[in-house]
Amino acid sequence: MRAAMRLTLFDLDNTLLSGDSDYEWGQYLIDRGVLDRDEYEARNNVFYEQYKAGKLDIHEYLQFALGALARHTPEELEGWLEAFMETRIRPMIGPKAVELVARHAESGDLCAVVTATNSFVTAPIAREFGIPNLIATEPEREGRRFTGRVAGTPCFREGKIVRVTAWLESLGQPIGQFEASTFYSDSLNDLPLLNLVKHPVAVDPDDALAAEAARRGWPVISLR
């Protein structure tokens, strides 16, 4: 098989999706009564604000978020995930995002979702977009059950470079071999990976990324 000559990476939350899947998963479990609203909602909101401000301690957050997975059986989690996809995620998928992904896939690009949100939540979302490769934060498992801990490097900030580099090396296609490399993101937190690719694109960016994109002449698009 001929190696792809173009690499296209997509952030997920507030980029391909018009919302944040990690935050919404927590809120969905609260609304179902799975998580205690008084205990969980305020902390979920604080972590989300820290993320948007570029000040999130990813290890502290993952201890909080992945702990929710560890308390329940795989069967319970899978059942909730199906309903979560239908009620929370599909309404956040707009036609412009679908068209963008399809255009790159039809061009023969090597495409991947690169997201800080854990792979349990995001795997079905990547499949919904038809993107075959997912690089996400990996929750640790013992057997089929989650432990509440993270496995390996969280896919966040500089960790996205670590994870993408390892994935490309496993394919025998280091990033420097591609004619073009593109990363679409909305977030200040993704500056490390945006700086690595040849074609960074800001998508409905937060204020900090919008300012950086303007300063550096990066293209800015909207998928809303």
What is the predicted pLDDT for the residue at 165?
98
pLDDT digits (tens, 9 = 90+) for 141-185: 999 999 999 999 999 999 999 999 999 999 999 999 999 999 999
Contact 101, 111 (CB under 8 A): yes
Please determine, looking at this structure, whether the domain spanning 6-221 carries the CATH number 3.40.50.1000: yes
Inform me whether the pLDDT recorded for 3 exceeds 80.
no
User: Taking the CA atoms of the chain, what radius of gyration do you get in angstroms?
Assistant: 17
- Burial class of residue 178 in the structure, from the number of CB atoms within 10 Å of its CB (0-12 exposed, 13-18 middle, 19+ buried): buried
pLDDT digits (tens, 9 = 90+) for 65-99: 899 899 999 999 999 999 999 999 999 999 999 99
At residue 114, the 3 state secondary structure works out as: strand
pTM over the 0.85 mark: yes
Report, as residue numbers or ranges, the catalytic residues: 11, 13
Nearest CA to 121 out of 77, 163, 156 is that of: 77
**Domain limits of the chain?**
6-221
pLDDT digits (tens, 9 = 90+) for 98-137: 999 999 999 999 999 999 999 999 999 999 999 999 999 9
pLDDT digits (tens, 9 = 90+) for 34-49: 999 988 889 989 998 9
Separation in Å, CA 100 to CA 95, 107, 121, 142, 176: 9, 11, 22, 37, 24
What is the predicted pLDDT for the residue at 1?
45
- Where residue 2 falls among pLDDT bands split at 50, 70, 90? low
Give me the mean pLDDT over the 14-41 stretch: 94
Measured between alpha carbons, how far is 178 from 162 in angstroms, rounded to an integer? 18
What angle do helix axes 37-52 and 21-31 make, rounded to 10 degrees? 170
